[in-house]
Structure 1
Amino acid sequence: MFRRKMKSALYLCLLIFGLQVQGQHKSNLNDEQQEQKILHSPEGHYEADGGNLAHVKIAPSNADFAFRLYKQVREEAGSKNIFFSPLSISTAFAMLSLGARTNTLSQLHKGLTFNLTEMEEQEIHEGFQRVLQLLNDPHREVQLNMGNALFIDDQLELLQKFLDDVTNFYHSEAISSNFQNSSQATKEINKYIATKTRGKIVDFLKSLDPDTMIVLVNYIFFKGYWEKPFNNLATRDEDFFLDAKNSVKVKMMHQNKVFNIHRDETLSCWVVEIPYKGDVTSLFVLPDEGTMKQVEDALLKETVSTWMQSLEKRKIYLDLPKFSISGSYDIKSLFEKMGVTEVFSDQADLSGVAESTLLKVSKAVHKAMVDVSENGTEAAAVTVIEMVPMSAEFPPPPHITFNRCFLMLIVDKITHSILFLGKIVNPAAKED
């Protein structure tokens, strides 16, 4: 053990996962569940906890971080799809910051866009604590789980304050592991990840660095049902344009209903809100041809806030492709380009984590997946006949067809958090 302590740094590895699954069938709430839903509405929570709004204080910083990271990812993604969970990544690094000190801590705060002149360090952690409480509420209608775990080498002694803080603020599990038996530890971590992501992410970790002492895992799992499911009988093969010359065939879903929409003439794009049941919503942003870059450049919390406030109910013809995509990212490399370097170097000061052991982060990786579909297998078994007046509509409903590159945001309305953020360049692309 002494030999290991003499090394310049022992390794801490961060594994961060985000998984959004579009439900394949509708769930019918029985009377008892309906009653529970009413009893446990967000308003009820607010009153019950005396108006704990710690999560509201960190929301602007988390949004700034999301769009800043998106722009960094975009530089490297080229013509690939983008999909990640900014909240999952910021939560993992905020939890790690509990053990950071001096300049390492300052860089983490700056990288996560937290300004300590506007809020105290304690308030950051209280904010994440509240986000976790609200996201994991079992009475929510959406299936939403977020959690953290620390796999700790059984020869490493963590400081009690760090253990107490990660358990209290981040509801983290602390799991003792024998990293000397690297293959067994890898197997154990992979099993945990597979369980928490409902079997969607398996055998993610191929191997561990021989000097690894801690593995920090953060995961977020969301399964939602559209408020207005698409009828899968209307889904058909259509072209999705990758660029001016190339296209792929996709399964295009169709709806002719009232949605909240906004036409942003300044940025030349359509914004369509497609809500899920239960206080989570998605924004689909369709830039006009040739304007994706200007929309991406304008992606800021102020822009999205303006979009949300400008939404108006309007009947539209909506075409949206089914897609199942994933993204894998080297967060260490992205953070270093954003100026967060020290925590990954031999200068790292993570002295608040463990007793008399020098630690640095050797690896930080993120994988996220999304699966969007009609949510209508039960709907196909019933016959629904909709009748509308035959009067001509003035102006006629706009036809918004997502048949070229578009953006997608999934926002939790209760915590004001961007759960997922992505750019769909090719809905038919195979998973990486």
Structure 2
Amino acid sequence: MKLPHLLLLLCLCCPGLTEEPTPGATDTQVPVSDEEDSKKADSCGGQLFSSEERRSLGGTIERLGLQLLENLPIVPQQPNIILSPLSVALALAHLTLGESEFSFVCPTIRSKHFPPPGSPTCLHQNVIFALLKLFLFCFLGFFYLFIFFLLLGAHNETEQLLLKTLHAHNLPCYHHILGHLLPHFKNTSLEVATRMYLRPGFEVKLSFVEESLARYQSRPVPLVSVEEVNHWIENATNGHISNFLESIPHNVMLMLMNAVYFKGEWQTQFDPTMTFKGVFYPDNMKSVSVDMMMSSQYPFRLLHDPELKAQVASFSFKGNTSFLIVMPVPGIGNVSSVLPKLNISDLYRRLPQERIMHVNLPKVKLQYRQELQEALTSMGLGSLFSGPDLSGITDHPLRVGSVRHASTVELSEKGVEASAATVVTTMRSISMFSVNSPFLFAIVDDASLVPLFMGIVTNPAP
């Protein structure tokens, strides 16, 4: 099983810009304050988070993924949906970084050059800003405070909207937990790459750049050509997503990108010689021929859920991850009715122990590309694309111009080893699970229950 996902491309534009800035900047080197970062970590209970906190994060990412699945269209030209809720969460969370208030400490940087904290230029600015702050506070009094809180509230309106969509408003350490989980995911055959492309000459706040680097290891690099961006995407997805962008609009000032690549290996492999031509039923009126992986003695967990009107199965990968399938019973349930009721953590709690059963699982090799603007607008984030307050990033007017998504999935017989065969030789098959109708799937980190990937397959052979 190998699943390279996303590129998730989040483009931020300056409205009304008509001239393209002059290229030619070099990479921005961003100093990070360890003391500042440790203070923020301490306020969230340090760098160690409980399993309950990690699973709370998993629940927020799951709900985001389910909302996206509900709002993304299934059309004849694209009958399957593949997405990474983790990747989308990373991109949206990235927008909430940075300081919204008047920090008075070198508040902006340019992609070409900026004075580092402690330099004479920065110290000079700090003195001026401190005197200005004192003057305003002493002589303008409540007027200053009124404007201050007005601006702060405007920024928080967009921030709170994003946090609400992320289901993170009741999880105060969201950034910290997510940031500290990323290294953990590297032990689960998952690779996450992030990058911030910055148009030369465009100013962003130092606090945003510092937090991007500290939280998500995202350092700004110059946005100079579409070829360089496409090259990074292709490398980050191990060659599975190429030529993603045809061009970069001249008013795109900032691109927040992340790519997630997953290559999972079954804990118990399927025997390729047992794969056969089977039938899959996209609906009651149609059938398609597909390659079916088959094992008469396969260890997995199976649950019949009467509320979902579906069969639920979990197959183990090496590396503390698993492949979850929710297949509505044909003629009784359907994918659209399952989505609003689905709760992955509840299913994992109720799934029984592994048993040896007969299983038929379709081989799939699918591609998916989608602009997420319409889906995110339906979820309440329409203002991001029109008039958001992103003053935590820059003092310039900025809006989200595009959230593009591309993913591929390949499900095959390959596994880590066949040693499990020695365990099952003395046991007989006691049940059967045949995946031959539309189903939902999720690739789940077993420790945190974060859904790394989710999708809907209505036709494995489009």
- C-alpha distance 79-189 of structure 1, shift in aligned 2 (>3 A): closer
Q: Structure 1 vs Structure 2: percent identity of aligned residues?
A: 25
C-alpha separation between the residues in 2 aligned to 1:214 and 1:166?
13
Matches within 5 A, 1:103-122: 103-115=157-169, 118-120=170-172
Deviations 1:182-213 (A, max 9, x none): xxx11110000000000000000111112111
1:71/1:387 CA distance change after superposition, 3 Å:
closer
1:128 correspondence with 2:178? yes
Alpha-carbon distance in 2 for matches of 1:315, 1:5: 58
In structure 2, what is the Cα distance between the partners aligned to 1:111 and 1:269? 28
Assess, with a 3 A threshold, how the Cα gap between structure 1 residues 79 and 328 changes in structure 2: closer, same or farther.
closer
CA displacement at 1:253 relative to structure 2: 0.4
* Residue 374 (1) aligns with residue 420 (2): no
1:152 aligns with 2:206: no
Change (3 A) 1:214 1:10: farther
In structure 2, C-alpha distance between the alignment counterparts of 1:416 and 1:272, rounded to whole Å: 15
Q: Structure 1 stretches of 5 or more lacking a match?
A: 12-47, 179-184
Q: 1:308 to 1:385 in 2, by over 3 A?
A: closer
Which residue in 2 is equivalent to 1:300? 342
Q: How does 1:135-214 map to 2 (within 5 A)?
A: 135-136=185-186, 140=187, 142-178=188-224, 185-214=225-254
Q: Indicate whether 1:277 and 2:277 are aligned.
A: no
Amino acid at match of 1:124: Y
* Aligned match for 1:219, one of 233, 236, 259: 259
Quote the offset at 1:60 in angstroms.
2.1
Conservation of the 8 A alpha-carbon contact between 2:439 and 2:458: yes
CA distance in 2, matches of 1:260, 1:292: 21
- 1:143–1:224 contact (8 Å) kept in structure 2: yes
Shift of 1:300: 3.1
Partner of residue 268, structure 1: 309
Question: What is the alpha-carbon distance in structure 2 between the residues aligned to residue 377 and residue 310 of structure 1?
Answer: 24
Note closer, same or farther for the CA distance 1:299–1:282 as it changes in structure 2 (3 Å cut).
farther
- 1:161-185: CA deviation from partner (whole Å, max 9, x where unpaired): 110000001111321223xxxxxx1
CA offset at residue 157 of structure 1? 2.1
Q: 1:375 to 1:105 in 2, by over 3 A?
A: same
Residue 244 (structure 1) shift: 2.1
Q: 1:400 to 1:283 in 2, by over 3 A?
A: same
User: RMSD in angstroms over aligned alpha carbons?
Assistant: 2.9
C-alpha contact (below 8 Å) 2:327/2:438 kept by paired residues: yes
Q: Are 2:301 and 2:313, in contact at CA under 8 Å, matched by a contact in 1? A: yes
Structure 1 residues 286 and 127: alpha-carbon distance in aligned structure 2, compared to 1, 3 A threshold? same
Residue aligned with 1:87, SS: helix
Alpha-carbon distance in structure 1 between the residues aligned to 2:334 and 2:352? 20
Distance 1:242 1:91, change over 3 A: same
> Which one of the candidate residues 380, 390, 397 is aligned to 2:430?
397
Q: 1:247 aligns with which of 287, 304, 323?
A: 287
Q: Where do 1:268-347 residues align within 5 Å?
A: 268-290=309-331, 291-293=333-335, 295-301=337-343, 304-345=345-386, 347=387
Partner of 1:28: none
Structure-2 change in CA distance of 1:167 and 1:385 (3 Å): closer
2: distance between equivalents of 1:388 and 1:223? 28
Where in structure 2 are the equivalents of 1:18-33 lying within 5 Å?
none
Q: Give the secondary structure class of the aligned counterpart of 1:202.
A: coil
CA gap of 1:263–1:307, structure 2 versus 1, over 3 A, is farther
Q: Counterpart of 1:371 in structure 2: which amino acid?
A: E
Q: Which secondary structure state, in structure 2, belongs to the residue aligned with residue 147 of structure 1?
A: strand
Task: Compute the displacement of 1:9 (Å).
Answer: 10
Matching residue's letter, 1:329:
Q
Q: 1:249 to 1:336 in 2, by over 3 A?
A: same
**TM-score, normalised via structure 2 length:** 0.73
1:312 partner SS: coil
| CA-CA distance at 1:378 after TM superposition | 8.2
When structure 1 is superposed on structure 2, of 80-89 and 407-416 the one drifting more is 407-416
- Equivalent residue pairs, number: 366
Aligned-pair CA distance for 1:10: 11
Q: Shift in Å at residue 308 of structure 1?
A: 3.9
Question: Any conservation in 1 of the 2:74–2:80 contact (CA below 8 Å)?
Answer: no
Aligned partner of 2:441: which letter? M
Q: Which has the larger radius of gyration?
A: 2
The one-letter code sitting in structure 1 at the alignment partner of 2:208 is F
Could you tell me how far apart the structure 1 residues matched to 2:95 and 2:279 are?
Answer: 45
Mapped to 2, the partners of 1:299 and 1:77 lie a distance apart of 25
Distance 1:297 1:107 in 2: 23
Given the superposition, is the C-alpha separation of residues 225 and 56 from structure 1 closer, same or farther in structure 2, using an over 3 Å criterion?
same
Partner of 2:399: 360
Indicate the residue corresponding to 2:456 in structure 1: 423
Compared CA separation, residues 167 and 285, structure 1 to 2 (3 A): same
One-letter amino acid matched to 1:367: A
- Equivalent position SS for 1:207: coil
Q: Deviations over 1:344-364 (max 9, x none)?
A: 11x22111212x422111111
Match of 1:238 among 270, 278, 285: 278
Distance 2:86 2:67 in 1: 13
Q: Decide whether aligned partners of structure 1 residues 188 and 59 sit closer, same or farther in structure 2, where only a CA change above 3 A counts.
A: same
* 1:153 partner amino acid: R
TM-score normalised per structure 1: 0.77
Cα distance in 1 between the residues matched to 2:298 and 2:251 = 57
Alignment-derived partner of residue 84 in structure 1: 83
Distance 1:370 1:385 in 2: 30
8 Å CA contact 1:283, 1:408 repeated in 2: yes
| SS of corresponding position for 2:176 | helix
Deviations 1:45-90 (A, max 9, x none): xxx9655665444222222212122111257789711111111001
CA contact (8 A) 2:265 2:415 kept: no
